[in-house]
Structure 1
C-alpha cells in the first residue's frame, strides 16, 4: 500500500520535502501535517489505504521523476550542460512595471506580475502563494486566493517550510472546474508534474486545471523553528506576539522584519538571519539536487548573483530585479502578454556569473553524493562530481570578510 511505501522510502530515510502533495491526493483526506516538522502524520489505520498508491506515487521526496516529466513536457531529457538550469527557450532580466509590486517583492516582482497576467490570459481563478498563519503570524501558511491584493501581499520570498500543495485540496473539492496558477519551489513543481502524469481523477484535474506554474530558485528551505529563533534570539521579541513576518522587506536585498500585535516593527539585515536558517534545515533540503526543477513554465531567481554580499556590504543601490528562464509555450505566452501589456519590463542578459545560492547548492550536492546517506534522485545528466571540487560553506561565504565587515 502507498502509505507503507511512503514510510519506508521517504519518511524513514528523512527524505520528506514537506511539500504537502500527499495530503492533496489522499482520497480519504487522512493525512495531516505536524506544524513544526512539516511531516505527514500517519496515525490512522493503514488498512484503509488498501492498494491505493496515491501518496507515494506523487511524492517527490526520493524520486522527483524529473527525467520522466521532461520527456512528457519537452520530449527529451536535459543534456549534461543543462544539469543545473534545465531546458529553456529564452532568458532575460526582468522587473514589474508596477512600483507597488516591485516594492512588495524580493526581486522585482516578476513572479507576481506573471501570476497576475495568467488571471487574464489563462482565465486563472485560484492562485497559490505562501502567506502567513492567521493565528500565529510567524508561521508560513499557503494561501489560495483570487484576490490581487493577497497575491501582491505574498510577493516576497518565504524562507520557511509548510505543507504547501495540501492547500489546493479545497480548490479540487469545491471548485474543480476553475483554473489554478501556482508559484512554488522545485519540489512543489516536481510533485505537481508527477500528479499531472497520473491517470487518476485528481491527476486529470491537475493536468487540466493547474494551467500555469512559476518556480523560484531554492538553495534550501528551513523549518519553522528557524523563523521563531530569529524573532526570539536575534530580535529579542516574542514569536507568539508576532502577527506578520517579511524576510526581504524594503530596499534591495531587504531586511527581515517582524510586526507585533501592536503593529510595532523590528528589523535586522538579511545576512544576520542566515545562521538561524542554516541551523534549522532538513536532510532532504540539504541533500536536494535541484536549484530549479526545470519543469515549471517559467523559472525565476534573484537578478543579483550574491544577495549575501549585497546585504553584508550594502547593496541598496541595486534595483530589485530577477533573472527569468522561459521553458514552455505556456510560459512564453504569459511572458509575451505581460510584456506587451506593459506589465513586465525585460532586457537581455547573459547567464555567466557567480550565484551564491546555486554554488552552495552544487557544493552540498557533491558532498552528499559522496556519502552513504540516502539522497533524492537527481536528473540523469551530470550527477557525479570529483572530490577535488568540494568546498565548505565557510569558503563560499568568506567568514573572514564577514567578521571584518560587521565586527
Structure 2
C-alpha cells in the first residue's frame, strides 16, 4: 500500500487539470485519473495496457478458453439465463434487477456501500457517481446514464470512509481499471456487478443524438438499442417511441461516439462477477451472466424474486454483419419507410437470443478493429485481445 504522504502528493497532481489524461484522446473518463490512484494508471487503464486475459485469471481463476466460441463472445462464465423481476421496481429502466441486488446486499449487511451513478439535480443525463449507503440512495441511481461517467472518481472516499465491504456497479473500462488497483483499496471484500456497454458519448454527443433521432428530445427519460432492431425511447408521459436502427442518420452521428468506445473490445464486461444486460435475452427480458462464485452469491440473493428462462440461440448473423461493414463506413441511411420494413423483416427472421448478442458483438468489434487500425495502427497488435481478433477474423474487412 502506498504511504499517505505519497498519496497526498499524487492527489495534488491529479487535481491539477484535465490535461492529466495519459490515454489522451482514448481516455474513457472512468475517473481513475481524478484520484491519487492515477499513480497506477499506466498499468490499470484499459487503453494504455490491455490485460483482460491476466485480470480474468486473477478474478475468475482462469482466462477464456480460446477453443470455445462461447468464451470468445461472452467471456469466462459459469451460467447464463434470461430473467425478469416478478414485481418490477417503479421507474427502473427494465424491471430493476441491478437495483434489487444492490439493495439486498445493503439490507443484509454484505456490503457497507454501493458505488453507483445518480444524476445531477439539473440534468437527468448528467452522471454523478456516489457511494450509496442506503437502499434509497441506490434507487435514486436507477436508469442508465448513456454518457461517459467517472465512476472511479469516488475511490478516494472508500479509504477515507473506512469502508471494508463494497459493491461496485460499472462498465467494462471502469471495471478493468478497478480490478487492476483492487489490491490497493484495503477492502476485505469487493463485489462487482457489471452491465454490458457500447457506444457511450459525451453529454454534448448525447444531446446531438437525441435531437437527431427523437421526436421530443427534451422529454426523453431513457432509451436503449433493443433486440427488435429499434431504439426505444421512453418519454416523461410514459409513452414509448421507437426508431429503427436502419433509419439513423449515420453520417451525422458517426462522430458522436467516444474514441474510447470505438477502441473497446469488452462489450460484455469480462471482469465483473455478475453481469446484467439485455442483448442475449428475448425482448423484454434481461440477460444474466454469472462469471464466478461471487457472482452466484449475488444472484442467489434475488433468485426467488425472479422469473427465469434458459437462454437460446436462433437465426444467422454473419451475412448481416458482413453487409453492415461497408454500409457503416459509407454512412448509409435508408428512407424511414424502408428502414421500418427492414426492421420488421429482420426482427422476424434475423438473429435472436445469443445469436443477436453475437451479431451485436461482431458488428461493433469489426467496426472498432477498423477504427484502431486506421487511427492507432501502432496499438493494434497489443490492444486487440486474442478473442476479439478471432471474432473479427471471421469477416472480410476492407483493404486500405
TM-score of the aligned structures, taking structure 2 as reference length: 0.70
The whole-number CA distance in structure 1 between the counterparts of 2:81 and 2:47 is 31
Deviation at 1:361, TM superposition (A): 2.0
1:345 aligns with 307
Say how many residue pairs are matched. 332
1:336 aligns with 2:300: yes
Query: Taking structure 1 as reference, are residues 245 and 284 closer, same or farther at Cα in structure 2, changes over 3 Å only?
Result: same
Of 9, 27, 30, the match for 1:19: 30
* Counterparts of 1:280 and 1:104, CA distance in 2: 26
RMSD across aligned positions (CA): 3.7
Residues 156-180 of structure 1: CA deviation (Å, up to 9, x unaligned): 232111212113433432x223422
Partner residue of 1:61 out of 47, 51, 62: 47
Contact 2:274 2:289 in 1 (8 A): yes
Residue correspondence of structure 1 range 252-401 to structure 2 within 5 A: 255-257=232-234, 268-269=241-242, 271=244, 275=249, 278-303=254-279, 318=283, 320-339=284-303, 342-350=304-312, 352-355=354-357, 356-368=359-371, 370-371=373-374, 372=377, 374=379, 377-381=383-387, 383-384=389-390, 389-390=395-396
Find the partner of 1:208 among 188, 191, 206: 188
Task: State the shift of 1:194 in Å.
Answer: 0.4
Q: Where do 1:139-150 residues align within 5 Å? A: 139-150=126-137
Name structure 1 gaps, 5 residues minimum: 28-52, 198-202, 307-317, 393-407
Asked which structure has the greater RCO (Cα within 8 Å, sep 6+), the reply is 1
**Structure 1 residues 303 and 283: CA distance shift in structure 2, 3 A:** closer
Q: How many angstroms apart in 1 are the aligned matches of 2:271 and 2:175?
A: 7
State the partner residue of 2:201: 222
SS for the counterpart of 2:149 is coil
Match of 1:131 in 2: 118
Partner of 1:68, secondary structure, is: helix
**Any unmatched runs of 5+ in structure 2?**
1-8, 314-353
CA contact (8 A) 2:233 2:240 kept: yes
TM superposition score normalised by structure 1: 0.69
Aligned pair in 2 of structure 1 residues 284, 254: CA closer, same or farther (>3 Å)?
Answer: closer
User: Does the 8 A contact of 2:214 with 2:233 survive in 1?
Assistant: no
